[in-house]
Homo-oligomer: A and B are copies of this chain.
Amino acid sequence: MTADNTPNNTQDNTPHNTPYKTLTKEALQAQLDALSEEYARIAAKDLKLNMARGKPAPEQLDLSEPLLDVLSSKTDAALLRKKQADDLRNYGGLTGTPEARALMAAIMDVAPAETIVCDNSSLSVMYDTVARAKTHGIAGQTPWAQLGEPVKFLCPAPGYDRHFALTAHFGIEMILVPTSAEGPDMDFVEQQVNNDASIKGIWCVPKYANPTGVTYSEQTVERFAQLKPAAKDFRLYWDNAYAVHDLTEPGDSLASIKTACEKAGNSDLWYMFASTSKITFAGAGISALASSPKNIAEISEQLALRTIGSDKLNQLRHVLFLKDLDGVRAHMKKHAAIVAPKFTAFLEMLDEGLGDLDIGEWTRPKGGYFISFDGLPNTAKRVVQLAKEAGLTLTDAGATYPYGNDPIDANIRIAPTYPSLDELKEAGKLFVLCVKMASLEVLLREA
């Protein structure tokens, strides 16, 4: 497209809030021409905006600066256990310090004895859990690498791209599970899990799901707990990444999968994952794995071959800084004060810019890190491309689906946390523009 400096050289008298689908081909073209000019002007600004990843903003990281001070050479020797056999500076502590286990257990709503504290990155913990199943198996079942047929995982989508990437990496077949505001389609999940022994797991982000922001309903959690899997080594891979990441007061409340599984006589069905990556420092947090005592015993035994223990000083830092669940909640309110206005601003721009056009829907999450946008079919890739070429990097279209393949090419994950509020407004304006243009292009092709 050429940057024509003559503004409004295309006649366009259609009111700008008319639903696109009601427009004539000529009116669609006129709108597209006008928007293309606006796009050219924005593209010329050479913007460098990035909303690709769910990354905390620098101001959020600043909230955890005290984490850098809680431990020093002046710290009480008793806290560091300098004179004890379990000196935190020395080897040991395979499952984490008791205090760190208690802290992470509180965040995950489980018991400390059900919790193993690990190093930075819950993604690693999930990867390792799948890797161990592949090489050593779960609960005495055949290691997946030794099975004649491929293992399958259910993948509620839109979902977390890194779950899907690691699943594909291990050669696990991914089955797309449709989702609604209640969570995954449980009729489909039950039908699959209860009848197919090659299905070994399902990826769930049960609270403020990535990217929809949906929190599973109580009924969904109960139906998960009541599954009667054909595979004895089927597990729920419950990625509780946003357990305490409320943006509103009150936030969503998530039923306890642990309690539900125990009630259903399915105590060993769940693996839960969490981290402080989006609580303290994304680059220097602690993570955790939780499960039934039986599963934890099995995992600990395997883990002992891999390490003598995770970083216990960083565990102590987190305990001294966050203290307990009340401390975590107070801290998360400070995050919300920074993040919520960004969500609000972006949602307002979507409402204002797209509200009447009938070319997209979007979620209004009460927490988490993402807004999920669904445009017209066959527009998502084009929107991301248009945005990219004008200086706004979005998550790749399709990334929220298994194999990077959104069957209708409609979903885009929006990550509003990292940019400043000003950048976000600029990004929102550009995003709205790109959605309009891509929609007009599709409607024009179909007209």
Q: Hey, which bits of chain A sit against chain B, CB under 8 A?
A: 53, 55-56, 58, 61-62, 64-66, 68-69, 71-73, 75, 82-83, 87-93, 119-121, 123-124, 127-128, 131, 134-136, 143, 145-146, 162, 165-166, 169-170, 277, 281-284, 302, 305-314
Contacts and interface: CB of A to CB of B under 8 A. Distances in A.
A68 B62 CA distance: 19
Nearest to A281: B89
Contacts of A165: 305
Which secondary structure dominates where chain A touches chain B? Answer: loop
A85 B134 CA distance: 36
Nearest to A171: B135
B72 A58 contact: no
5 contacts: A55-B90, A90-B283, A121-B309, A284-B311, A311-B311
Report the copy number of this chain in the oligomer: 2
B120 A53 contact: no
A311 B55 CA distance: 16
A307 B170 contact: no
B83 A73 contact: no
A198 to B, nearest CB: 17
Contacts of A146: 145
Contacts of A169: 136, 302, 305
A72 to B, nearest CB: 5
Contact of A283 (B53, B143, B313): B313
A306 B166 contact: yes
Given A69-B72, A72-B69, A119-B120, A88 B58 contact: no
Contacts of A308: 121, 123, 282
Contact of A131 (B64, B72, B131, B313): B131
A263 B72 CA distance: 47
A131 to B, nearest CB: 6
The list of the 8 closest CB pairs from A to B, nearest first, reads A145-B145, A284-B313, A65-B73, A127-B306, A119-B119, A61-B89, A91-B282, A89-B281
A58 B85 CA distance: 10
Contacts of A119: 119-120, 310-311
A295 to B, nearest CB: 18
Contact of A314 (B55, B58, B127, B314): B314
A71 B308 CA distance: 26
B283 A91 contact: yes
A89 B306 CA distance: 26
Given A53-B91, A166-B305, A283-B309, A68 B73 contact: yes
Contact of A56 (B58, B90, B128, B313): B90
A194 to B, nearest CB: 28
Which one of A66, A71, A165, A308 has the highest number of Cβ atoms from chain B below 10 Å of its Cβ? A308
B305 A127 contact: yes
Contacts of A309: 120-121, 283
Contacts of A128: 306
A123 B304 CA distance: 10
Contacts of A55: 90-91
A408 to B, nearest CB: 27
B307 A121 contact: yes
A90 to B, nearest CB: 5
Given A58-B90, A127-B307, 5 more contacts: A58-B82, A89-B281, A119-B120, A134-B145, A169-B302
